[in-house]
Amino acid sequence: MGLAAGRREAPGARDAPSRGVARRPVTAFPLALREVRHPGCMQQIPGAWQRTARGAGLLAADGAPVPTIFAEMSALAASTGALNLGQGFPDEDGPEAVLDAARRAIADGVNQYAPGRGFPDLLDAVAEHQRRFYGLELDPAREVLVTVGATEALAATLLALVDGPDDEVVVFEPYYDSYAACVALSGATLVPVPLRWPDFQPDLEQLASAVSDRTRVILVNDPHNPTGTVFTREVLDEVVRLAHRHDAIIVTDEVYEHLVFDGPHVPVATLPGAAERTVSISSAGKTFSLTGWKTGWVTGPADLVSAVLAVKQFLTYVGGSPFQPAIAVGLRLPDAFFASVASEMAAKAALLGTGLRAAGFDVSTPGGSYFTVVDAAPLGATDADAFCRELPARAGVVGIPLTAFASPAHRDRYATLVRFAACKKVEVLADAAERLAGMTRG
């Protein structure tokens, strides 16, 4: 497929944007992650953890690690009794047929290591799913790999395919924080392309200028976390065009593929000329409301999938065995189930959006995923981080500042924007809407 080696510009040809958003340090981290005490001095432990944490914005100015914004805001929700619409996890279990299949697998003794690529039945089920929904033909034995969720799939893919500090990874910003951490761990440079309020589509000229012969990977999250946008066909076509022009690999994060509200999901791999250079990542967590099972998969050309396996097998080796046959059952559920997943989430997003508008926010209408983004400026906000820390006391609801998903150079674009998650019970969302509508103004 081309993907030539030795095609990069000289190091330093582009200034390397970094993501070092510092948040307040905490002292609850293990000593090993903070410092080692030596006679007469304090010395940080060296290692790749520092650049990983720095990439994700999890180092304070003094070099101490700080918690993720999700941990901070979830702790704030717990301590105040506020409704947690910050972190994207459902409060309802998935389909009973899938839960029963996991219980049955445990009872039947499926409790030892799975094969390195995954149980053949799940590999077959993933390939069947790709054919059934998207018309993609895959060899399950060579072009599918089971992973410990999409997060591990992403880490293994970037570590496998990025070759070092001369490489760049282009992402759409704001972005899921794992992207910046994994890119930093790989040693590559993160190149963010800003998405624009309120529709969160990129400027195609900015996208084209971000991709160069140093670009090793273009990372596309569609539907998008944290904004809830679904990229237009024009944007996806441009990604494919630029990947061909600069001999880059496309990596797609499609965990919200069955949570598109208006029409079917369009995988990048289905576009003309894309399949040969696209690694697609998805998982069971969002589709089946089973985020704790951490079962995901990678699909794509056999050589790329084998490269990912070469790294993945030394990260976790394999995941939870009894979950694999259960997810195979889930992937074979009737079409009506998958349609209901999208329609129910769309209804929840609409309910949440109505409450947010009633509270006085400007609201971006999501095209999919769990998430809705609002502008808190009409409520007097000038700093989303400060606004979110005050929100539990003002309204009894927790959100996440969008600045937590942005690099320092672009934080001003998202200064008053907040993300809320709609993946909760209807009664919880109705309660949140009522609380927000009665919020005291700051």
Q: Domain map of the chain by residue range? A: 69-93+336-437, 96-334
Q: What is the pLDDT of residue 289?
A: 97
Query: Measured between alpha carbons, how far is 114 from 295 in angstroms, rounded to an integer?
Result: 12
Ramachandran angles phi, psi of 162, nearest 5°? -90, 135
Q: Are 376 and 418 in contact (CB under 8 A)?
A: yes
CA distances from 110 to 114, 242, 288, 329 (A): 8, 45, 21, 15
What is d(CA 356, CA 386) in angstroms, rounded to the nearest whole number? 18
Cβ burial of 37 (10 Å; 0-12, 13-18, 19+) is exposed
Residues 430/347, Cβ–Cβ less than 8 Å: no
pLDDT, tens digit (0-9, with 9 covering 90-100), for 289-339: 999 999 999 999 999 999 999 999 999 999 999 999 999 999 999 999 999
| CATH code for the part of the protein at 69-93+336-437 | 3.90.1150.10
CATH number of the 96-334 domain: 3.40.640.10
DSSP, collapsed to helix, strand or coil, labels residue 386 as: helix
**pLDDT at position 170 over 60:** yes
Query: Taking a C-beta distance cutoff of 8 angstroms, is the pair 318, 125 a contact?
Result: no
DSSP letters, 23-59, are: ----S-S-HHHH-EEETTEEEPPPSHHHHHHHHTT-B
pTM: 0.89
Angle between helices 177-186 and 48-55 (to 10 degrees): 150
pLDDT tens readout for residues 107-159: 999 999 999 999 999 999 999 999 999 999 999 999 999 999 999 999 999 99
Instruction: Say if CB 194 and CB 410 are below 8 A apart.
Output: yes
Taking only the tens place, the pLDDT of each residue in 21-52 is 344 343 333 434 434 444 433 237 889 999 99
Tokens matching residue 173: 């910003």
Residue holding tokens 């910046």?
180
